Structure 1
Amino acid sequence: MANIEVRQATIGDLAEAAALFNEYRQFYGQPSDPDGAQAFLYERFVHLESVIFLAKAGTERETVGFMQLYPTFSSISMQRSWILNDLFVAASARGQGAAQALLDAAAAYARQTGAKGLALSTAPDNVIAQRLYEKNGFERDAEFYHYFLRV
């Protein structure tokens, strides 16, 4: 199923994007919620709060991968950065280059928008993803501690 094509999604791709987004959430232990996934992504599209890419593969151009970038800014460098918040490839398409194609699209998009770079985080046990990110030049942050306050 090689021959991967990645393109930026539009609101017309909402159903396909939401289906993969729902699978992604389940991968991280969340219950299936197709309606919630669709509503969440709809809000991102309508309010221009994220940029979504889809990976399509095979002669049927089946949607096999999903990636969502959120904008952020650095006050210190006075530059935009992108948070690669979500990257998911359907189980049936893993190992065929879709994740790499999505990462390449993210890097290209960051360059096109004049961004300083891309940031991401992943689960400590997601070793396969960590290897892919490190192979692509992502460096594990050893300089800063990251904190989160649940409210």
Structure 2
Amino acid sequence: MSTSNVRPLQAKDKERWTELYAAYARFYNSTQNGDMREQVWSWLMDDTNELQGLVATDKKKNVVGIAHFRPFLRPLAASKGAFLDDLFVDPSHRGTGAAEELINEIKRLAQENGWSIVRWVTADNNYRARAVYDRMARKTDWLTYDIQL
């Protein structure tokens, strides 16, 4: 049973969002600095930008999880989908249903917008998160490639 509520990210969440997003970057051993977080925050606070943010809150309304998502075009399916870029729950609140609630809200928003799919990637060794994802979605056969520029 969930102990979380999900709502859109708000300007008042900046300090806690910054803490959680920095922890997310550390989890993935990603080099990230304050300027980079400021850039992402500005995208999230700009209504004309496609990136959207959600937060999960506990019973005391404290932010315990974050998610960022955006629409993407699916030419082969002639549709749009939702791409879940980032999902992080404070380690002390894992197992509370916060991750599931964040994903379910993105699913609800995708359905509301007529999008055909919710998609995301995770690290192969992210076993705890994958246990949640395996319950909620179908693992695909696709491999991911990057060209660093």
Bin for the TM-score computed over the shorter chain: 0.7 to 0.9
- TM-score, normalised via structure 1 length: 0.87
Cα distance change of structure 1 residues 32 and 58 upon mapping to structure 2, 3 Å threshold: farther
Q: CA RMSD in A?
A: 1.9
Partner of 2:17: 17
- TM-score, normalised via structure 2 length: 0.88
Partner of 1:103: 103
Partner of 1:124: 124
Give 1:48 shift: 1.5
Partner of 1:140: 139
Give 1:14 shift: 3.2
1:1-150 correspondence to structure 2 within 5 Å: 3-31=3-31, 33-46=33-46, 47-59=48-60, 61-136=61-136, 138-142=137-141, 144-150=142-148
Give the distance between the partners of 1:12 and 1:78, measured in 2 at CA.
38
Give 1:5 shift: 0.7
Aligned letter for 1:14?
A: K
Query: Could you tell me whether the CA contact under 8 Å between 1:4 and 1:97 is conserved in 2?
Result: yes
Aligned letter for 2:43?
A: E
Question: Could you tell me the percent identity over the aligned residues?
Answer: 22
Long gaps (5+) in structure 1 = none
Long gaps (5+) in structure 2 = none
Aligned letter for 1:22?
A: A
Query: Could you tell me whether the CA contact under 8 Å between 1:15 and 1:38 is conserved in 2?
Result: no
Query: Could you tell me whether the CA contact under 8 Å between 1:6 and 1:105 is conserved in 2?
Result: yes
Equivalenced residues, count: 147
